Structure 1
Amino acid sequence: MNDVAALPDGHWQWNGWLTAKGRVTALFALLRLDAETLWLLLPDADPAELAAQLQRYVFRSKVTLSPKDVSVAGRFSAPSHAAGNRFAPLGEGWIELDMGGEDAPRSLRIGPIAAPDDTGACAHWDAFDLAHGLPRLPASQAGQWTPQQLSLERLRAFSVSKGCYPGQEIVARTHFLGQAKRGLGLFESEAPLPVGSEVSEDGRGIGTLIASAGNLSLAVVPLEHAGTDISAAGLPLHRRPLLDGLAR
């Protein structure tokens, strides 16, 4: 759903795959290694399943799609060489990405060596994503929301001017007619909340929790709503501002 052709070698962008009705089924980082090689880094979607969906649109026999066996390791420190949407080779098969926001540095490394398993760090990473408006969609929320409802313009993750792609007509119509009525809201609660919970105001449903990490949640809610006096799963929700700096 983004303009891959405009991406220079050695750079990456947020991108995604939509249903024919313009709903996001997968959100990922797309790396252009060179004119012949693209990597899709999928934080949530199943790579084999997405490859099968993309295969239906392959019309050249020399194009191949396949899951790649690599390790991914993140750290909350400034990248050594990568900056913005320019990634950097580090040697021994590793590639570094700048995943930081305006408030804090963060880097991601992709390579052949097994990454350490640190569940606590993973939870911190997920919470950072949500705080900066990067929705981490579980299977139950895939295919439910348009890019505008997920506020993906904040990440520059979709295009309304490139050529056709599945769901493009819905995305473009929503953009040019100004029909987006809902978007992401970041909320904090006293305890973790289940994804899919209804967001309510005075007993009236106004939105849905679509991603959570610890006590932080992202919800699709009306754009004009102030985010006060609302709850989900019986707990009050406290609106927090979305942080910037993750757009690429």
Structure 2
Amino acid sequence: MQVTLNDRALLKISGSDSELFLQNQLSNDISKLDNSSAQLNAYCQHQGKIIALFWVMRYEGSLLLSFPIDLVEKIHSRLQMFVIMSDVVIQDVSNEFCQIGLINETNENAFNIKDQLSVLLKKDNNVAAVIDAESIDIWHKACIDSLLPEIYLLTSEKLVPQMLNLDINEFGVNFSKGCYPGQEVVARLHYLGSAKRRLFAFQSSLEINIGDLLYCPSSKSAQARGARYKSSGIVIFRIKYNSNFYCLATLDVELKDAKITLNNEQGLTLTRIKK
């Protein structure tokens, strides 16, 4: 199945220093990126919290960054700050390409992201590949099924990579590459042991929104922190699909089998989708 991803921006990073530039900014090892994959990378601030998640792709001698369009101004201006004297050119090429998500479909020109998900780039942004208005929800549902996270403006700078499972099998974080912003914090959390908060999928018959907080009445740590700090996680990605709501949310690992409600003790109950 093909779905036009018209909710994503695309930045082109070119110039002789472009690869070194991104290697010094992002969490994964750019040198290991081949020509048929979209590599997941976290772009972190100095405290290790994720500003954005990128699908990084090699394309005609340049590197492309794909991410949710509501972050484009923030990301473009921030990356530009670090160019300084490097031979790096950053261009917003969102309107020059059509990004097409492929689900369970093979294409020799597509970039594989995860599981049966890949992205195809067409230079003509007017490509008639859109099936209907609901098709992008099918893509988002497939992303939730694959535990493929997103960061939007609302959740930017709130989570560290481990909370989104990016450290598992080094899917989005490489722990042997050189430094990048927040690297010391991310590495310290990794070597201290297993993460206390992870990414899980949930569903509900009632509405869920990005930024909603997860609450667990039985959480001893939440009770000890007091009413102001009771949340045990946050919704980072959601869709409505076939009359139900589905989401990806962070949650304290110790609470994964507990009763979880949304926003407060009287909130709707979330059902965890077990993988």
So what's the TM-score if we normalise by structure 1? Answer: 0.81
Instruction: Identify which of 78, 84, 102 aligns with 1:53.
Output: 78
Q: 2 CA distance for matches of 1:13 and 1:185?
A: 21
Q: Does the CA contact (< 8 Å) of 2:201 and 2:248 recur in 1?
A: yes
Equivalent residues in 2 for 1:1-248, closer than 5 Å? 1-33=27-59, 36-44=61-69, 46-68=71-93, 69-81=96-108, 88=109, 96-99=110-113, 101=115, 105-113=116-124, 114-115=126-127, 116-117=129-130, 118-154=132-168, 156-178=171-193, 180-202=195-217, 205-214=231-240, 215-233=245-263, 234-242=267-275
Following superposition, the deviation at residue 106 of structure 1 comes to 4.0
Change in Cα spacing, 1:126 to 1:18, as seen in structure 2 (3 Å) is same
CA distance in 2, matches of 1:162, 1:106: 26
Q: Which moved more, 1:60-69 or 1:216-225?
A: 60-69
Query: What number of residue pairs does the alignment pair up?
Result: 225
Alignment RMSD: 2.3
Moved more, 187-196 or 47-56: 47-56
Unaligned runs of 5+ in 2: 1-26, 219-229
Structure 1: which 5+ runs fail to align? 82-87, 89-95, 243-248
- Give the 3 Å change call, closer, same or farther, for CA 239–197 of structure 1 in structure 2: same
Task: Output the amino acid matched with 1:132.
Answer: S
Distance in 2, matches of 1:166 and 1:57, equals: 11
Residues 192 and 216, structure 1, Cα contact 8 Å, conserved in 2:
no
Q: Deviations over 1:22-67 (max 9, x none)?
A: 1111111111236x41111123553343232122222544321111
Deviations 1:161-216 (A, max 9, x none): 11111011110110111262111121111123122222122285322222211211
Aligned pair in 2 of structure 1 residues 63, 165: CA closer, same or farther (>3 Å)? Answer: same
Most deviating of 61-70 and 5-14: 5-14
Q: Is the 8 A contact 1:198 1:205 kept in 2?
A: yes
Moved more, 68-77 or 196-205: 196-205
Secondary structure of the residue that 1:185 maps to in structure 2? strand
TM-score normalised by L of structure 2? 0.74
Which stretch has the larger CA shift, 133-142 or 40-49? 40-49
Displacement, 1:9? Answer: 4.4
Cα deviation, 1:106-130, whole Å, max 9, x if unaligned, reads: 4422112224443211111112112
% identical equivalent positions: 27
Whichever residue aligns with residue 100 of structure 2, its letter is A
Instruction: Report the residue type matching 1:57 in the other structure.
Output: F
Q: Name the amino acid aligned to 2:260.
A: I
Q: Distance in 1 between matches of 2:57 and 2:65?
A: 6
